[in-house]
Structure 1
Amino acid sequence: MAGSHALTTWTRDDCARFLRRPTVADDKYSRGVLGMRTGSTAYPGAAVLGVEAAWRTGLGMVRYLGPEHPRTLVLQRRPETVTADGRVQAWVIGSGTDAAARGESETQALRELLSGTVPVVVDAGALDLAPAATAPRILTPHDREHARLRQALGLPSASGDRVADARQTAEATGAVVLLKGAETLVVAPDGWAGVVDAGTPWLATAGTGDVLAGVIGALVAGWAAGGQQVDAAPLAPLAATAAWLHGRAARLAASAAGVAPASGAAASGDGPITALDVAEALPRAVAEALPR
C-alpha cells in the first residue's frame, strides 16, 4: 500500500495556490457551477447550509436539485439558486440524507453521477454508494461513517491509526478521503496525506459537516471551470483547502461571539457558534487566504 508520504500540515499559504480571484473576463459559468443533490424531508436544513456555504465560498452558480421541501427553504434563503437541471463542473451528494430511506429512482440518479466523469463530493447518506463508484470523488466521512465504509469495503476494523486507515480506504476506493475530526485528515489514493486543524472545539455542532461539503464542492467546481485537470491529484489539496477555510471561518465566527469589554474595545475570547455562523464567516476566510 502506498504510504511513504510524510503527513503535510496544510496552511493558509498552501490554500492560496488553489484559490482564484475573479477577473473582468469572468462570467458566472467560468467561475464554476456546482450541482447539489442534498437534503431530505427529515433533514431539510442540510440543503440550506450546504447551498449557503457554496455561495459564500465564491463561485458562479449553484444548481440545487433536491426534494421539494428543502428546495423551497433553499430558495427562501438563497433566491439566486437555480433549481433547473443543466451543466455543472462538480456535484455534492448525500448531505442530510439517509441511505435507508432513499428511493430507487434517487439511488439510480446518484449511481449515474458516480459513474460519470464530473467530480463528486460524497457525503453522509450517499457514502454507501462510494465503493462501486468510478467518478473522481472526495469522500467525507466522520469516524463512525468511516468504520461503516471500511466494513462495506471488506477492510479490517479501525486500527487506531487514523492516517493509516484513511490511506487504506483511499487506496481501496481510488478516491480522496477527507476524514473529519478535531484534526481533519485528507488522504489521496497515492498515499499523500494532509492534516488540517479544525479551528475551534465550537465547530463540533450539528450542520457544520453540511457546510464543509458545500465549501469543497464550490472549490472543485471553480477549479474545473478554469480548465484544470480534475483527478485525485488536485482533489486532495482542494479538499484540504476547503477544510482550512471551514476551520478558519469557525474561528472567525467564534471570535465574533466573544465578550466585548465595556469600553467598546475589540471582543475578547470566543463563544458558541452555529453552522450558519460558519457559513456566513466564509467570505472573510476566503479573502484572507486569496493570493495577493
Structure 2
Amino acid sequence: MGWSVDDVRAWMRVPQATDDKYARGVVGFVTGSDAYPGAAVLGVEAAHRAGAGMVRYVGPRRAADHVLARRPETVAGTGRVQAWALGSGTDASHRSPSLRATLHAALAEGVPGVLDAGALDLVRVGAGPRLLTPHAGELRTLLAALGVDVERAAIAADPERWAREAATRTGATVLLKGARTVVTDGDRVAVVEAPTHWLATAGTGDVLAGIAGALLAAHADAVLADAACLVDLGATAAWLHGEAGARASLGGPLVALEVAEHVAGVVRTVLADAQSVSDPASTR
C-alpha cells in the first residue's frame, strides 16, 4: 500500500496542555564515532525537528562535542528514554568493548528501537520492538548473516521480496531505504516513493533514523502494545524524510543537514492542512 499525507497526519502527535517533555517522547541516541561524528549530529538534529520532547546522546567525546555545539538542548549521557536510535555512523567490524556494552545495555531495556548501519547485526540482542533501516547493501549483509545469499542488485530489483524475507527471519520490522522505500513486518507492507532522487547523498539515512526515533518515542506505548504499528511509523518517517528532502532540494542538490532542518516545516504543513480541513472557516 502507498502512504499518503492523511496516513502521516494520523501519526502526528500534537502536544496537549498537560504534556511535558516526557509525555512528548524522549529518544536516546547511541550513534556516531570518531570517524563519523556527523552521523550523530544529523540524527539528533532530525529528532529535535521531528518533535521529540527530549533527545539524549550517548557516544564518543568528539561526536558529543559536535552534537552539543549544534544542538545545546540535547542531554548528554544515559537516562530515561522511550525509544533508542542506534548504530548510525558506527561500524560493527570496529566495535569497541565500550560501545558494545552501551549498545547491549540499550537493547536490554525493552523499549522500541531503531537499528541502523552498525547496529543491524544486533537485531536479536535484548528485547523490545525493532525497526531496522538498512539500504540494499546493508540488507544483503544482514541476510547473509541469516544464511541467505542474495546479491545487492537482486535486492534493488525486488525490494519488497527481500525486505519481507528479512522481516520474517528477524521478527523485526524492516524499512528498506531507496528511491522506493519499503516498510514491512513480513505481513503488512507500506511503500513510500521518494519525491526527489537528490536524497541519494551521504548522511540522509542518519536523518531518517533520527525522524524514526522521535516517532517511536512519541508512540512508544502504542508500539509496545502492538508492534505492527511500526510499519505505520516507519512509513511516516520515510514520508516526512522525503518531503523534507524535496523542500531542501527545490530541484537541485541538497545536503543532509538541510533535510533535517526542513523536517519541522513539513510537520507544520501537515498539521496546518489538518486544521484547514477541520475548520472550513479558516480557508475563507
Structure-2-length-normalised TM-score: 0.91
Which of these residues, 210, 213, 218, is aligned with residue 209 of structure 2? 213
Matched, 1:80 2:73: yes
- Higher helix proportion: 2
Paired residue type of 1:161: D
Q: Find the aligned partners of 1:85 and 1:56 in 2 and give their Cα distance.
A: 21
Letter in 1 for 2:173: V
SS of 1:24 mapped into structure 2:
coil
Q: Which residue of 2 aligns with 1:254?
A: 249
Equivalent of 2:174, from 174, 177, 186? Answer: 177
Once the two structures are superposed, the pairs formed by residues 93-172 of structure 1 within 5 Å of their partners are 93-158=86-151, 159=154, 160-172=157-169
Deviation string 1:215-252 (CA, Å, 9 cap, x unpaired) is 0000110112xx43424211110010000000000111
> 1 CA distance for matches of 2:124 and 2:78?
26
Query: What CA distance in whole angstroms lies between the structure 1 residues aligned with 2:147 and 2:56?
Result: 35
Residue type of the partner of 1:278?
V
Cα drift, residue 182 of structure 1: 0.5
What is the letter of the counterpart of residue 222 of structure 1? Answer: A
User: Are the counterparts in 2 of residues 163 and 185 from structure 1 also a CA contact under 8 Å?
Assistant: yes
CA contact (8 A) 1:38 1:95 kept: yes
Deviation at 1:194, TM superposition (A): 0.6
Match of 2:57 in 1: 64
Q: Per-residue displacement from partner, 1:248-289 (whole Å, max 9, x unpaired)?
A: 00111112xxxxxxxxxxxxxx22110011011111111122
Deviations 1:7-46 (A, max 9, x none): x101111011111111221111111000000000000000
- Whether contact under 8 Å (2:27, 2:214) holds in the other structure is yes
- CA separation in 2, counterparts of 1:171 and 1:289? 33
In structure 2, which of residues 4, 22, 34 is the aligned counterpart of residue 41 of structure 1?
34
SS at 1:41 equivalent? coil
Aligned equivalents of 2:13 and 2:123: distance in 1?
A: 30
| Cα deviation code 1:69-111 (max 9, x no counterpart) | 0000100000000013211000001000111111123213212
- Partner of 1:188 in structure 2? 185
Residue aligned with 1:196, SS: strand
Report the TM-score when normalising by structure 1. 0.88
CA RMSD between the two structures: 1.4
Q: Is the 2:216–2:223 Cα contact (8 Å) retained in structure 1? A: no
Matched residue type, 1:78: R
Residues 120-139 of structure 1 deviation map (CA, whole Å, 9 limit, x = unaligned): 10000111222445421000
- Sort the Cα spacing of 1:75 and 1:132 in 2 relative to 1 into closer, same or farther, 3 A: closer
* CA spacing shift, 1:80–1:132, aligned 2, 3 Å: closer
> Which residue is 1:244 aligned to?
239
Equivalent residue letter for 1:194: A
Checking the alignment, whether the CA contact within 8 Å between 1:131 and 1:152 is kept in structure 2 is no
C-alpha deviation, 1:157, in angstroms: 1.6
Q: Which segments of 5 or more consecutive residues in structure 2 lack a partner in the other structure?
A: 276-284
CA–CA distance in 2 between the matches of 1:50 and 1:210?
A: 5
2:161 is paired with a residue whose SS is helix
SS of residue matched to 2:56: strand
Alpha-carbon contact 2:129-2:223 (below 8 Å) kept = no
Distance in 2 (alpha carbons) for counterparts of 1:98 and 1:279: 23
Q: 2: distance between equivalents of 1:93 and 1:132? A: 13
Q: Identity of counterpart residues, as a percentage?
A: 54
**Using CA pairs below 8 Å that are at least 6 residues apart, which structure has the higher relative contact order?**
1
User: Conserved in 2, the CA contact under 8 Å of 1:49 and 1:207?
Assistant: yes
Distance in 2 (alpha carbons) for counterparts of 1:132 and 1:68:
26
